[in-house]
Chains A and B, each alone.
Chain A
Amino acid sequence: MGSNGGGDGAGFNTDALEGVRAILLKPSESLDESTRIAGPDFNDAGLGLAGMLGSLASTGFQASHLGDAIDVVNQMLDWRLSQEKPSVECDEAELDPKYRESVKCKIFLGFTSNLVSSGIRDVIRFLVQHHMVDVIVTSAGGIEEDLIKCLGPTYRGDFSLPGALLRSKGLNRIGNLLLPNDNYCKFEKWIMPVLDQMLLEQSTKNVWTPSKVIGRLGKEINDESSYLYWAHKNNIPVYCPALTDGSIGDMLFCHAVHNPGLIIDIVQDVRLMNDEAIHATPRKTGVIILGGGLPKHHICNANMLRNGADYAVYINTAQEFDGSDSGAHPDEAVSWGKIKGSAKPVKVHCDATIAFPLLVAATFAHKFHGAN
């Protein structure tokens, strides 16, 4: 032990020193080497996107959460029924290995409207185009913004643009995006004849529901840049119980003044949505939810009816301290039975415009393009 020149050591108790040592230099438990922190090495010219994505898990903080989320989504994509032991009551057909190899995880994708206003709409379109997700839940803006983008573009703006000035120029601001009023006028012009036609087709046998309306709109827009077009084409249901809470609602309102009678049945849709979860078995279910609000809750609630989703990834910026559902961590959902206790859910605290493209690149896109 080193001396600190303390003369004859009077007043310097060896025991006390030992005590201090024990506190300051407490021997540490050894940690698993695989959890060592290391970021991407940009000295490596060949690092590329794949290399950088691979380094996320070991970078720490939310990058690590994103790395974990990538793992969970890859598990969702890789899971097959053949990995599970056959259940006791299953019938002959379910024992067939070929069948079991073909049964995949059912993926619910939820997102808020602002993400559709952003360029994330194009990432969503990629997923829907290639039938990589099975059920979509969003809010009203998540429907109309996709359609409107086929009629007129959204522009880059700035969070600090003054509201009164924008109003005078007929520009609507969503964060740092700008949507000209003209786009909504074009949407009005486009949708009114469709609503007229829908009213004519309405009957006691053919009642419209939000998902049917959305399917029809996806068919009518007939534009490959629209995710709703692909959802219609690939028969992927899009649920939106609050369809009236957006420009579509304004259009329905104005339409009803001149041409009343259109009925949109949300009860039918809640049955369908819950059935998506209940009848998913023997498939496992996975939820990928961007943002909070209605889409987040609606998906989790449906999964509660099957005693919880097997995989869950949340990407949002909401906090739990106010008790909001939007900010609630996956573990809160476990308490409700919305996510299985045996699941390993991940929440990435990050703006989805950053995290989601990275997530898709490392999972869906990676598998789609092969391991090039």
Chain B
Amino acid sequence: PSIRPSLPLRLVSTTPLAPGEQRPLASPDPPENPVDFEFSGGSSEMSDTDEHHFESKADSGASKTYPQQAGAIRKGGHIVIKARPCKVVEVSTSKTGKHGHAKCHFVAIDIFNGKKLEDIVPSSHNCDVPHVDRQDYQLIDITDDGYVSLLTESGNTKDDLKLPTDDVLLGQIKTGFADGKDLILSVMSAMGEEQICAVKEIGGG
């Protein structure tokens, strides 16, 4: 399928991002070997390989976070603070006054390491909100060095996840697995980082 963008687009680079890294919207210094495609609305001059590059860029960069006005973020929602994906536990606003513009005070918990982070943002400013996904996988194996082997939907294995550090969860997984139970692990992913966050037993064998 050809892509017909309505705005002229300029593809700057296809280097994959490190976990937690965000691609800036307008990069001030173009990287050394930019993959430069100039599109104008309506005509597509792409080969299959170009299309492939474009898709993988969209996949690796564009959808990790989305902007939302600070004043619209509520308790229980998500927010990026100091490049960490967090869940908001407290929001309070101070109206415009001696301290300047109206501000939202956020207290949030890093969804991966549980650390408490705080931020103060003018309520009219945009914040980054992380896309947080949860996906379930069946547990196939636990390796000696603490990695898990999971069964994906497509029938492949996913072997790049370590066991969680949380003692309770870790215990449940290890015991369940040792007892030969069928376990489903929920994996939470956001901003290029993944972590096992829950475990369920499937009834039977």
The answer to whether A188 touches B99, judged by C-beta atoms less than 8 angstroms apart, is yes
Scan B115-127; emit 1 where CB is below 8 A from any A CB, else 0: 0001110000000
B165 in contact (CB, < 8 A): no
Which residues of chain A (179-194) have a CB below 8 Å from chain B? 181, 184-185, 187-189
User: How far, in Å, is B127 (CB) from chain A's closest CB?
Assistant: 12
Contact of B99 among A189, A251, A258 (CB under 8 A): A251
Contact of A257 among B96, B100, B120 (CB under 8 A): B120
| A interface, over-half SS | helix
With both beta carbons as reference points, the residue of chain B lying nearest to A186 in the complex is identified as B100
With both beta carbons as reference points, the residue of chain A lying nearest to B98 in the complex is identified as A247
User: How far, in Å, is B154 (CB) from chain A's closest CB?
Assistant: 43
Interface size on A, residues (CB 8 A): 16
Contact of A254 among B96, B97, B103 (CB under 8 A): B103
A250 in contact (CB, < 8 A): yes
User: How far, in Å, is A72 (CB) from chain B's closest CB?
Assistant: 37
B10 in contact (CB, < 8 A): no
The answer to whether A188 touches B100, judged by C-beta atoms less than 8 angstroms apart, is yes
Q: Which residues of A are found within 8 Å of B120, using beta-carbon distances?
A: 253-254, 257-258
The answer to whether A185 touches B101, judged by C-beta atoms less than 8 angstroms apart, is yes
Interface residues on chain B, size class = 10 to 19
Q: Which residues of B are found within 8 Å of A258, using beta-carbon distances?
A: 119-120
Q: Pick from B96, B97, B99, B103 the residue with the most CB of A within 10 Å.
A: B99
The answer to whether B99 touches A250, judged by C-beta atoms less than 8 angstroms apart, is yes
Q: Which residues of A are found within 8 Å of B98, using beta-carbon distances?
A: 172, 184, 246-247, 250
Query: In the bound complex, what is the Cα–Cα distance between A188 and B103 (angstroms)?
Result: 12
Q: Which residues of A are found within 8 Å of B96, using beta-carbon distances?
A: 170, 181, 184-185
Query: In the bound complex, what is the Cα–Cα distance between A170 and B119 (angstroms)?
Result: 25
Query: In the bound complex, what is the Cα–Cα distance between A320 and B96 (angstroms)?
Result: 38
| Known A254-B120, A257-B119, A257-B120: A172·B99 in contact at CB below 8 Å | no
Scan B68-98; emit 1 where CB is below 8 A from any A CB, else 0: 0000000000000000000000000000111
Query: In the bound complex, what is the Cα–Cα distance between A185 and B97 (angstroms)?
Result: 8
Query: In the bound complex, what is the Cα–Cα distance between A181 and B95 (angstroms)?
Result: 10
User: How far, in Å, is A187 (CB) from chain B's closest CB?
Assistant: 7
Q: Pick from A172, A181, A258 the residue with the most CB of B within 10 Å.
A: A181
With both beta carbons as reference points, the residue of chain A lying nearest to B96 in the complex is identified as A181
User: How far, in Å, is B109 (CB) from chain A's closest CB?
Assistant: 17
The answer to whether B119 touches A247, judged by C-beta atoms less than 8 angstroms apart, is no
The answer to whether B97 touches A172, judged by C-beta atoms less than 8 angstroms apart, is yes
Additional 5 contacts, C-beta under 8 A, given A184-B97, A258-B120: A184-B100, A247-B98, A250-B98, A250-B100, A253-B99
Seen from chain B, the residues whose Cβ lies within 8 Å of a Cβ on chain A are 96-101, 103, 118-120
Closest CB pairs A-B (n = 7) = A188-B100, A250-B99, A257-B120, A181-B96, A247-B98, A185-B100, A185-B101
